[in-house]
Each structure stands twice: as C-alpha cells, then as structure tokens.
C-alpha cells in the first residue's frame, strides 16, 4: 500500500542522484549553460549537448575567438584582430546573462571588419563566419530571454549596418579590397546582408519560440500546483465534514437519551419535589433546543441525497464483514480482533472501523492481491489498530474490486483522512513502508483519560 503523495522509488532515486552535486558538473555549469551557475545537479540531455554551442558556452566562445583572430589577421590583414575577436568570444559568453548587452559587442566586431579589412581576393565581407555564429547565438538568446522588442531592434540594427556597408562599397566610401577584387561584379556585402538577415531572423524566431514554450510550461506547472492544492484542500474539507456528520450522529444520540430521561424522570421517580421536577423539565427543554439546533446543523452538513448517512455508524463488529468483502476482491485479509471493552466510546469504535476501512482501500488501490494482516486490540487503556500488507504479487488476482466495495463513502483522501480522524480523537498514527516492500499503518486511540484530550480540542 502506498500513500497518495508518496513518491515512487524511481523518483526518489533520481532525487538522490540530483542531491549529490559533483565538482566536475559544477565547473561545467560555469563553462556552459548546462544548468544553474554553480549547481552541479543537472543531467546530460540533448539540450545539454546543444548548450555547448549556445549562449554562455565558454568553449564555444574561445573557439570563435581563435577562429576570428586567425581569419582577421591572415585573410583580412587586420593587425589588431585580437580586439574584435575578443568581442566576438565575449559576446557569446555574455549572452547567457545579458544578451542585450552582448549585442553591441557583435556589432563592434562587425564594424571592425567593415572598416579595417583589406584583402586581395574575394572574402565574405563584412560578416565573417565567426561573427555570423556569434550573431546567431546572441539573437537566439535575446529572443529566448528578453521581450520581442529587443530582438526586433537588434535585427534591424544589423540590417541598417549591412545596408550601409552595401551603400559605402558602391559609393567607394569603403574599399576593403584591392587588386582583382574590383574586376568582380558582385558587391561582397550583398551576400552578407542576405545570409545574415535570413539566418538572424530564424535564430530570433527559434529563441522566441523557446521563450513561449517555457512560459507555457511554467503556467501549466503553476496551474497544476494550484489545482492540486485546491483538490487537497477540498478533499480535506470533505473529510472533515464527513467526520463532523458522524460526530453529530453520536452526540445527537446521547442528547436524545438525555431528553427522554429528563422528560420521564418525574413519572419514573417517586417522591420528587417540585423543585426537582422543575429542574428535570428545564434539562428536558434545553436538550430539545440543543437537538433542534443540531438538526439544523445536520441539514447544512448533509446534502439531500445522503439519506444513507443517517444509518447507524459501524464499529469493530463490522470489521469481519469488511475483511470478507476485501477478501472477495482477490486481496487476502486475515483479521485478528482482540477483546475490546464493552463501554468503548462510540467515536473510538467508529474510528477503528474507518482506519481499517481506509487502510484496506489503499491496499486494493495500490497493492491489489497483496496479503494483508489486520490486528485490533485493547492494551493499557488504548485501542491499537495495525494493518500491514506485503508487496503486490506479480500477477494480482484482480486489479479492480468486483465482489464488493470496500469504501462506499471514501473521499479518496488516504492517509490524510486517517490522520485527521485519529488526531481528532487524541490518538497517534504511524505509517510507512516495510522492509519487504509492503506498507504498515498503525493507529493508537486512547480510551481512558479522555477528558484532557477533549479540553485541548
């Protein structure tokens, strides 16, 4: 038997693995966006592999720095190539934290190639391959982490710079090439603007899609959390209302007895003085008023279709029938019912039955076919209820109860409902798995010295 909120063994194992951060993974979290910075509990996934080439990747930034530095120095004859190359690499790393601030670094590297390049043969100008990759990474990061306005503004700023490069080349304001370059008809900046604008728009749209997907997942997770909290509160209130109804029935019974006894006292008892008769009449009237108030309360607590709830409340005597009904569903139950005191309080008797009922219901739901032992005994002024089941067999005899319903009134609250009942009666409840893979429920309900408990309640 498993509780409704008990995590599975697999999830517990995964949490145990994630709870042990490894130094190597902590270091990697600094080098690339595999997980939160300084947190080594991330795991290798496909998205982790993509992070090697994404925003914040130090290895990817170093690689782009090396490539850009070599290309600008050798192919574009820029002696101070290390500066724009460093801006390219730093932009990739900074995009993880401040993608908008990383964008000017990409444009600075782009402008350095535009104004400082000098080459004899045709080269991609002014957008180099390393600058293009940094351009795509930063635009992706802006779309993923910032509002769409910033991404559109960044894309338009590149478009304006590329259009200026085309115009400046055609107007001979910029002359990056020499020799045979001007014998070739195409403007090298034309290919640059087409490639950069199309791929940049695609990178921004992918980042923006990831942003929408993340927001949707966050909203769904929040809605599920709120819904689960509301369901739990609703079930808890339903269970408390059910307990209140049952307590009402018990108290109403005793109040009825008081009413009858006080009303008939002057006829049953001889030689009563007028003062005694008046006292009994007063007790009878107050008891009737209390019963009327309780009937009005009962109308609030019960819905119109709950006529069956007015039946006498079950107790330990009904446990054998309960055990037989569970046994017929394919879950073998052995019941050991010890001798209980004759004057057992009705609330204790009811809670004994309800605890066993809910425990057996959980066995049928979570471990159908598991052998279950139920023991009820009164020891030292307390009633101890113990329900222990073994692990579910590989092929349970029946996956669903057919021969009878174990919990006709169950609200599906599980251990929470049991704990509410036991604590209301001043008792204790212990639950937990057994070493053989089963589950154990033990409730201890006090019989004697109940006045202190009732005063605390």
User: Where are the chain's structural domains?
Assistant: 9-50, 51-226, 316-456
pLDDT value at position 342? 80
pLDDT value at position 81? 92
Structure token pair of residue 319: 């446990």
Strand partners, 387: 374, 441
pLDDT value at position 403? 36
Task: Name the packing angle between helices 188-268 and 274-301 (round to 10°).
Answer: 160
pLDDT value at position 453? 44
CA 397 to chain centre: 33
Q: Is 177 helix (H, G, I), strand (E, B) or coil?
A: strand
Question: In whole angstroms, how far apart are CA 338 and each of 286, 378, 443?
Answer: 40, 7, 15
CATH topology of domain 316-456: Heat Shock Protein 90 (3.30.565)
pLDDT value at position 36? 85
Q: Which of 140, 248, 130 is nearest to 199 (CA)?
A: 140
Q: What does the pLDDT look like over 265-323, one tens digit per residue?
A: 887 888 888 888 888 888 877 777 777 766 666 665 655 455 444 556 688 888 988 88
φ, ψ at 372 (rounded to 5°) = -130, 140
Structure token pair of residue 291: 């019963």
Burial of 301 (0-12, 13-18, 19+ CB in 10 A): middle
pLDDT value at position 329? 76
Q: Residues 155, 160, 163, CA angle at the centre, nearest 5°?
A: 125
pLDDT value at position 6? 44
Report d(CA 251, CA 89) in Å as an integer.
78
- Going across the sheet that includes 439-446, the strands are 333-337, 372-379, 382-389, 439-446, 428-433
Question: What is the chain's Cα-based Rg?
Answer: 39
Ranges in the chain, pLDDT < 50 = 1-8, 10, 16-18, 181-182, 304, 307-309, 396-413, 450-457
């Amino acid at each position: 038997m498993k509780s409704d909120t008990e995590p599975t063994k697999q999830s517990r194992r995964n949490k145990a693995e994630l709870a042990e951060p490894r130094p190597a993974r902590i270091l990697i979290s600094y080098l690339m966006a595999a997980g939160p910075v300084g947190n080594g509990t991330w795991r290798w996934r496909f998205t982790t592999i993509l992070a090697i080439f994404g925003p914040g990747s130090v290895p990817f930034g170093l690689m782009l720095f090396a490539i850009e530095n070599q290309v600008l120095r050798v192919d574009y004859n820029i002696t101070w190539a290390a500066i724009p190359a460093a801006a390219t690499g730093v932009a990739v790393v900074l995009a993880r934290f401040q993608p908008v601030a990383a964008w000017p670094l990409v444009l600075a590297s782009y402008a350095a190639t535009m104004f400082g390049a000098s080459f004899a043969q045709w080269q991609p100008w002014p957008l180099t391959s390393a600058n293009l990759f940094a351009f795509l990474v930063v635009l992706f990061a802006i779309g993923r982490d910032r509002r769409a306005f910033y991404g559109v503004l960044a894309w338009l700023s590149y478009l304006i710079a590329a259009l200026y490069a085309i115009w400046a080349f055609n107007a001979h304001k910029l002359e990056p090439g020499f020799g045979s370059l001007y014998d070739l008809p195409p403007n090298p900046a034309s290919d640059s603007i087409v490639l950069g604008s199309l791929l940049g728009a695609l990178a921004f749209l992918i980042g923006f899609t990831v942003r929408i997907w993340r927001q949707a997942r966050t909203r769904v997770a929040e809605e599920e959390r709120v819904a689960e909290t509301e369901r739990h509160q609703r079930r808890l209130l339903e269970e408390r209302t059910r307990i209140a109804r049952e307590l009402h029935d018990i108290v109403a019974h005793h109040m009825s007895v008081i009413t009858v006894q006080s009303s008939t006292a002057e006829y049953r008892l001889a030689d009563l003085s007028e003062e005694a008769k008046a006292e009994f009449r007063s007790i009878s009237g107050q008891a009737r008023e209390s019963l009327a108030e309780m009937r009005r309360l009962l109308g609030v607590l019960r819905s119109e279709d709950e006529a069956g709830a007015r039946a006498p409340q079950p107790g330990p005597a009904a446990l054998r029938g309960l055990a037989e009904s569970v046994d017929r569903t394919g879950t073998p139950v052995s019941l050991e019912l010890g001798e209980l005191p004759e004057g057992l309080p009705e609330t204790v008797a009811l809670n004994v039955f309800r605890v066993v009922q809910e425990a057996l219901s959980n066995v049928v739901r979570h471990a159908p076919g598991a052998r279950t032992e139920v023991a009820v005994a009164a020891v030292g002024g307390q009633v101890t209820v113990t329900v222990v089941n073994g692990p579910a067999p590989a092929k349970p005899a029946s996956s669903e109860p057919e021969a009878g319903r174990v919990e006709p009134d169950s609200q599906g609250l599980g251990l929470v409902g049991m704990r509410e009942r036991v604590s209301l009666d001043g008792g204790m409840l212990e639950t937990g798995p057994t070493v053989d893979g089963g589950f154990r429920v033990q409730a201890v309900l006090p019989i004697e010295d109940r006045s202190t408990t009732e005063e605390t309640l």
